[in-house]
């Protein structure tokens, strides 16, 4: 059964990132430092060649995608936007440290929506997974087997922490602006276990890109799933 190479890339830096503010649904552009940072990453490393580019609809992601893949058309997926921080949007930790509502929100691990917000963590995770399914189905329909996804830090951590192998907490997969991770997804494994393997960091540095291979999922298990599903893409 077919495998897909998908590269999750965090958007470049915004002014609010520089100032350490909570930015989710707020639609901010890249700042000059963010644009320069992406240029530096492109000079010192290599972003993978892909057949499709997906992006969050927020401006910072769209701008990043245009800079990294200037010749590619972009496909926006609304479900891949960042978490909604409600009344805490665009405020710094210093501004919020004495706000009892914020302290309660963080103490409860963001399980309930922030005041003025639209979603708790469970709803966010469900939305992100829905968006990932949308892009995977689009890749299958178009028979394209590699794609870049320019999105947000919270989206990347949610996907890798929830579906990635090796299993570890989402915060382990935190990445800097313009960086991210490649994943290798086998349709049979995804259909049966909603799991994929996590590969190397993006952009590549030093050694040329190596074709990812399954090493955490038993190849015999993959073959057995392929056979049980008739060996056909679904």
Residue 59 CB-density burial (10 A; 0-12 exposed, 13-18 middle, 19+ buried):
middle
H helix and E strand count, the chain? 9, 7
Buried b (16+ CB within 10 A) or exposed e, 167-188: eeebeebebebbbbbbbbbbbb
Please give the annotated binding residues for substrate, written as ranges. Answer: 10-17, 60
Distance CA 178, CA 44 (A): 12
Distance CA 230, CA 234 (A): 10
Nearest CA among 138, 159, 109 for reference residue 4: 138
Distance CA 54, CA 102 (A): 33
DSSP strands (E only) in the chain: 3-10, 52-55, 74-76, 146-151, 164-165, 180-186, 196-202
Distance CA 148, CA 126 (A): 21
Please give the annotated binding residues, written as ranges. Answer: 10-17, 60
């Amino acid at each position: 059964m077919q495998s897909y190479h998908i590269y999750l890339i965090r958007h470049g830096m915004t002014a609010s990132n520089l100032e350490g503010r909570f930015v989710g649904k707020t639609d901010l552009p890249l700042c000059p430092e963010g644009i320069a940072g992406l240029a530096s990453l492109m000079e010192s490393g290599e972003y993978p060649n892909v057949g499709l580019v997906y992006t969050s609809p927020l401006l910072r992601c769209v701008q990043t995608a245009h800079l990294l893949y200037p010749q590619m058309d972009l496909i926006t997926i609304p479900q891949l936007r960042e978490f909604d921080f409600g009344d805490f949007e665009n405020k710094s930790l210093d501004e919020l440290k004495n706000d009892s509502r914020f302290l309660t929100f963080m103490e409860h691990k963001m399980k309930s929506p922030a005041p003025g917000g639209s979603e708790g963590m469970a709803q966010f995770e469900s939305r992100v997974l829905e968006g990932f399914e949308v892009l995977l189905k689009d890749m299958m329909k178009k028979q394209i087997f590699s794609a870049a996804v320019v999105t947000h830090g919270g989206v990347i951590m949610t996907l890798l922490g929830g579906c990635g192998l090796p299993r570890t907490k989402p915060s382990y997969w935190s990445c800097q602006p313009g960086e991210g991770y490649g994943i290798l997804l086998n349709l049979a494994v995804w259909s049966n276990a909603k799991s994929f393997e996590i590969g190397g960091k993006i952009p590549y540095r030093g050694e040329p890109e190596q074709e990812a291979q399954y090493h955490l999922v038993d190849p015999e298990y993959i073959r057995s799933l392929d056979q049980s599903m008739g060996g056909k893409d679904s």
